[in-house]
Each structure stands twice: as C-alpha cells, then as structure tokens.
Amino acid sequence: MSVMRRALLVAVSAATAVVMAAGPGAGAEAGSAGGRGGDPGPGGAPGAAPAPASIAPEADLAHHGHASLWSGELTMRLGSENHGPSPLPDATVRIEFSVRLVADQALPSNCLWGGERIVLCRTGQLRAVGRSREIALGLRTVGTPDEVVVRIDTAWNGGASDRNLENHQHRVLVPATGDLYAF
C-alpha cells in the first residue's frame, strides 16, 4: 500500500505542476472538478481557487533620437518612452558602434562602457505612458570614418514583457555629413 500511495503522490504532484505551469483556470470550466464548484480545488478547501501564477508586467519601451558624425566627432541624443500599460522601475539602453571609439572618454553619469564599442545607459524610472530624460553623448572615433552604424536596443527592461520589438531596436547608418539622422 505504501508503494501505491507514493505513486499516487508523484502523479498528483506532476499533475499539479502541469496545471500551475498552464496558469490558473487553464482548461477548467466553472463548476467542473477541481474548479470553484463544491469539489476541493488545489488549495484543499471546497471552492478554493488555485494560487495565481506570477505574471510579468507588460510595457512597450521605445527609444528615439538622432545621431550625427563629422570629422570623427559622433554626437547622439536619445530618449526612451514607455507606452505602457505598466510602469518600469528602470531600463538599460545598449548603444553599439561599428567603429572603435577613443578610450577613456567621459560619459554622462547614467552611462558606462560595456566594451570598446558599447555604451550602456540607464533610463531611470518610466511611468506608464511616460518619457525618460534625454541622454546626450559626444564621442570621438578612432580616426575619421566616412560612416558609422549605430545599433540601439534595450539591454534590460526590468523584467517586463514587450511585444513590440520594432520601436526599441534600431540600426542607423550615420554618414560623416554633419547631418542629423533620426531613429
């Protein structure tokens, strides 16, 4: 009998894990066994609802701005925006350059070097349907390239889910004309 109880316990545990992974109420209709009817639910008491699964907040993070290149001087302004619906406690923007940059250049206080060609910048808290303060970069390239490709992406968004990848991933070709190239 002990072996039978163990097998039943393993089967019930596996079924509970599958139901919890599927989320509360998945596959259960009102009044069905294990639901909110008179039968005991996963909580053990009659009518007990299953414990809610942890759901990541959803936030649509976007990055927009412009970049310019002239005589080896690369300037960039970037702002981040949260289209909601959830606020973000913080986010990190990853900016990657196709050319080498002069080492040990000063960055704004909310930015740091992530490699020879990568800058990471913190946006700060973004309320739902809110904007960050603008990030301004003035960087020297090694030599005077004819063009630079700048890639902008979200490195971290506070664990939120973002279904719209179109507005926070950009690849911008910046010719050495001194003109502003928007993204």
| Per-domain boundaries in the chain | 1-55, 59-182
Residue with tokens 């990541």: 56
**What CATH number has the domain spanning 59-182?**
2.60.40.10
- The string of pLDDT tens digits covering residues 48-81 is 555 556 688 999 999 999 999 999 999 999 999 9
> In sequence order, what are the residues at sequence separation of 6 or more whose Cβ sits closer than 8 angstroms to the Cβ of residue 18?
none
Cα separation, 34 vs 140, in Å, equals 65
Residue 23, both tokens: 């989320």
Q: Pick the residue with more confidence: 33 or 170?
A: 170
pLDDT of amino acid 49? 55
Cα gap 2→174, rounded to integer Å:
72
Torsion of Cα atoms, 108 then 96 then 75 then 88, to 10°: -50
Query: How does pLDDT run across 21-55, given as a tens digit for each residue?
Result: 334 444 443 444 444 444 444 444 555 555 556 68
| Lowest mean pLDDT, pick from 92-96, 161-165, 167-171 | 161-165
Residue carrying structure tokens 């759901």: 55
